[in-house]
Structure formats: C-alpha cells, structure tokens
Structure 1
Amino acid sequence: MSSLSQKTKQWIVAGVGLGAVTGVAIFLWRQSKRRRLLRVETDLEVVDSWDEADLAKMKIAEDQASRELDYEHQAVVLENMALFYTRRGKHEDAALALKTLLNVQEKVYQTSVCKERAATLFKLGLSYGHSGQPLLAVAAFERLVELETRLGVVFHQAYQPLAAIYIEMGQYAKAQELYETALAEGAGELGYAARKYLDGLAVCLLEQGVELDRARDLFEQARDMAAELPAELGGPVEYAMALIHLARFHSKTEDMATAATLLDDAVKTLKGATGRSHPDLPGTLSDLARIKLALGDYDGAEAALVECKETLELGGLANVDDIARTQMSIDNVRREKANAVRAPLI
C-alpha cells in the first residue's frame, strides 16, 4: 500500500478533520496493474445525523486535502459532502461538490475514463435536474453516455433521466429516440424498470399526436407491469401512476368516461397505499373533477374538489394559494350546477 493510502487510512482511524465522519466511511483499497481503486461505502443513517458543524469539518478536511494534494482523501470528503447536501435537498450545493469531485477523481485514477467518474456524472446530472438547471443536466447526462460508450457500456443509465428532461423541455422527438434505443438495447434485461421506458415512450407519442394506438398499448403494458410490482418496490403507487397516465391518454383522445374510471381507481389506490400524503393526490383529484365536470357530473366534480381542498389543507400554510384556487373552483362548479338546474328544457 502506498504512503498516500496509508496516510488516508490513518486520518480515518484518528478522525482528523472529519469529526463525525470517523467510522462512517469504509475504505477498501486494492492494487491493480493500471491504477489503485478506491471504493467508498457510507452509512446513510449516520449521514442523516450530521449537522452544520459536521459539514464545516468536512469543508476544512477537503481544503486541507486539496492543499496537500491528497486527492484520495479529497475525493472521499467531496463524496460525503455531496451526499450530505443531496439528503437535505440542497441540490445546487451537491452539484458543486460533484463537479469538483469529477476533477479530483481524474487525478486519483489517473484517467478520465473510469466507472467512478461515470457514477459521479450520473449523480451530477440528477443534482442539476433537481435544482432546476435542465440544460446543465442534459450536458452532464450526455457526457455520461459518451463516457460509458468509451467504457464499453451498451445500455446507458442516463437514458431514462435524460429522456425525462427532454419531455419536460417539450423535446418529445429527442426523448422518443432515447426511449426507443433504450428498449431495443435493454430488451430482456430491464425487468420491472421497463415500465418507465414504456410509459415514457407512450407520453412522447401522445404529445406528438402520432401512433396513438401504439401509445395506448404502451400505456397499458406499463400499467400491467406496475400491477405486478411487489409492494416493497412501491407497487401500489407505481400502479396508481400508471393509471393516471393511461387516464391522461383517454382524456386527450376524448374518452372522458374511461378517463374518469381510471382516475377514480388511481385515487383509491393512492389513498390505500399512502393515506392522503402522496404529493400527486391533490392534482389527481383536480383532474378527476375536471373530467367529471366535462361529463356533466356536477356532484362528482364538487366531491373531488372538496376532497382535493381537504387534502391540501393537511399541508397547512405551504398550500394556501392552492387551497384558495380550489375553493374558487368549488364555487364555480356549484354555480354551474345551479345554472344547469335552472336552465329551461329545450
């Protein structure tokens, strides 16, 4: 073992600079002919127990390692910092740590082409995406695809998040190409994950208004796969999401009755799995109300909106604007119902 690795190991044992990180990260070294490999395993429960004081210690340790050109130790600290930020939803800070980590890893492994940098690029893309920086996320994921290609990877882990970002940006043709490629390259290997690619491809077709029969079939395949997903893997929630997406297809193709039935089932499934805590429940109830109103079911629309408002109220002040808008919708439905009752028969 090199003196550099020995020093890093001593820092871990002594807890110098890392404070609460001591005993959290487990460092395993092995010598290869080409480069020394370093793997970091972190206990998430311990990371979640860290506070700002621990973060300050990590920053000091990272700065010290950088000044001493101890790149192995610097990489370890940066990875822990990125995890700390990510677990707390500070995605911009996580992205900064991961961006620095990419450069440090190139020095650690003495090459820009390694699986460790690929893993970091994936995390960087996610951090950019979560922090509302889609163009930077796209750039990171595209770099990842290029790097994995050089590593000989056939199926790229970036396909799904990259395609999802393209959908958010309205670039459905680009997203469709990625989903088509992913399903072709990952045939027989995706398992339950295939449902997300099927669903994403269906969304692309629907939004472009092309191959609608195929889009419906893809949505239904995704729904059927979600129905078989074990509960421990989020089966009920995934099934509800698949129902919502299929309902959207029927809504856009003006089959409102089928859409209403699917959304009714989705609401029941979500409530059965998560009570009223799932973040998509209010929006689903709102969509259900809109469709029931289109069907002339004023009572059903009002009931869905009332439940939507009650669900939002569970979130308190954070939802105050949505609560007010929902109450306005309830009032509008009641007025429309009253007008419909008073309207003379022709």
Structure 2
Amino acid sequence: MVSINIQELENMALNADVTRVGDIAQFKQMGDQITVTLGLYSHALETQLEQLLAHRYPGLKVTIATRVEAKKTQPNTVAKKGVKNIIAVASGKGGVGKSSTAINLALALSQFGARVGLLDADIYGPSQPTMLGKQTRPEMQDDKTMRPVIAHGLQTNSIGYLVDGDSAMIWRGPMVTAALQQLLNDTAWDNVDYLLIDLPPGTGDIQLTMAQKMPITGAVVVTTPQDISLIDARRAVAMFNKMQIDNLGIIENMSTHICEQCGHESPIFGHEGGQRLAAQFTIPFLGDVPLDRRLRESLDAGLPLVSAEADHPISQRYRDIAMKIAIEIAKKPKGYSQAFGKIAVENKPNQ
C-alpha cells in the first residue's frame, strides 16, 4: 500500500498565488486509492491536483469529486430554496462598471462548471437584459412562481424583463424593496451553486432589505482607482461589516487604459486605489480589470466578453478573479440553515 501523509497533502501548496490544498479540499484514503473532494468547480484545478498527487505518490489511484456547499451567512437569515450561496456585487457609487463585472464574473464561475444565477437588483435602472441580449418575459411555472430566464447558460431575472424598456420606475422605497424580494423569492432557481446579486449603487433601502431578508454568503465591492470612487467604496465595505456580511474582496475596475495602437497601459484614473482599500480593511484584493473598448462593445451587443471571447486576456482576468471568489467561499464555515427547516411551535387546545 502506498504510504500517504494526509497532513502533508493538506499543507502542500497548489499555487502560492491562489490557495493551499487543505483550504478547499478533503482527503480520504482507502488502501492505494485516495478520494479528494474539492469545495469548488475548476477543471484546471482538478487536473493540477491529480498531476501533483501522481507525481508525489506514484501508483496512487486518485478520484476527484466536487461538492459546492452552502456556506455561513449573516445571522437571522433563512436559506433560499434552490440556492446554495448568494454573492452581493456592490459599489458605493454608480459608473464604476459593477454590472459588467457581475455579468462576467457569473459567466466565469459558470465556465468552471458551477451552476450560476444572476439577479438584477437595480430596480430603477435595470441593465442586465440589454447586456445579456435578452428582452423576454419569464415563463410562469405556476400562478406565483417564475422560471429564470436562461442567458448564456446563466439563470437570470430582472425587473427589466417584466416592464417595457422605456418605462420609468417611479416607485417609493417600500415598493422597490418589495419588488426585489419578489424577484428573489418568486423565481424558481434550480440548484444554483452561486447566485450573484447585482446591487444598485449606494447604501440605501435595497441594501438594507438585502442584509435583513436575504442569506448573503459574502459581498464583493467594485471600485475604480480614483479617490472619489474609493470614498464611496469605503462606505460600502463598512456597510457590509456593520451588517455582519463577509467581505470577500475588492475588485478594481478601469484600473488602466490600454492603448489600441501600441498596447501600452496607462493608469489614467489613478494607481492601486483598490489595493490600498483592501489593505485598509484587511480583506482580499481580488484583481483588476482595465478599461477596454472591446469590453464595452460586447455588453452593448448583448454578448458579454467572457462568453463571446473566452480566450481574450480580459476574460482570463475575470476567471482569475472568479476563482479567488470561489476559493474565499470554499474556505468559509459550512452553513447549516439549508439542512434544517423552520421549526414551528404551536399551542394546541386541550383535547
């Protein structure tokens, strides 16, 4: 029998820039066979791990399985049926590319093999239908429940599917928050590993409702490098801290401008603002995405870059960021609210 040191395996670095095996995997040995259960989907990571084990322990039979589990959320929230983990994608202010980031991250997670959903929570300015190239109404599963609209392999829903494109949503706060809850709860999400919620900018009614009513596994804050954006991004990070929602990390969008003539990258909006913000709050810096015309054109055409041009360098940046998010979630403690239903205590009359 091959002698295996499980502790050694757990401490063995797969990639110093990404993670350690023990953070996202469980090992079980039976004779000369070892079963590795990964906490996230990644065909590349599975291949890397298999090669690593084969080199370290010749003759070992390796079986790799993947199981994305529901992870711990903020207190006093109840699991959403059909959804394992909810990721809030937020920004302190508008115009930083939060929606484009949410779409491409969702597609990147899907390319790893996960089942992914995308909920457009911007009731006043829904942009996901245009960016996804879908202008359709969800089909009704029954009198109350909608089937998600499938776009580029994602399960999606948005108020933009339900109203005319030129209609103005002139609603007060309670109507907006009720609409958001209805979109989440009345959509028949089908065994989703990750549901990304594309939040509107700011720290108002929708964010408060989300924190109180929705089980959030973690939040990702999108910013641009300049100080005016970082001021509001700090407020977003502080908001999630106050609401006891884990900050999964910071993404710096529009980090540089890439010259179409020579390919030179210039930090026209500032330099490393996202890194400084992440360091200030001691949370991960997930990565940066440059300002690129192709990224804008792809979303205007309803063909997001990660889906339309998977080999594009920016698509790879999104996959790198998505992998870091998946790893941060895999490292979190397991959530048990999915395992137990609500317990109802009733006072019955004496019989």
Q: Per residue, is there more helix in 1 or in 2?
A: 1
TM-score (norm 1): 0.25
Higher RCO, 1 vs 2 (CA within 8 Å, ≥6 residues apart): 2
**What TM-score does the superposition give when structure 2 sets the normalisation length?**
0.25
Q: Which has the higher strand share?
A: 2
Question: Which one has a bigger Cα radius of gyration?
Answer: 1
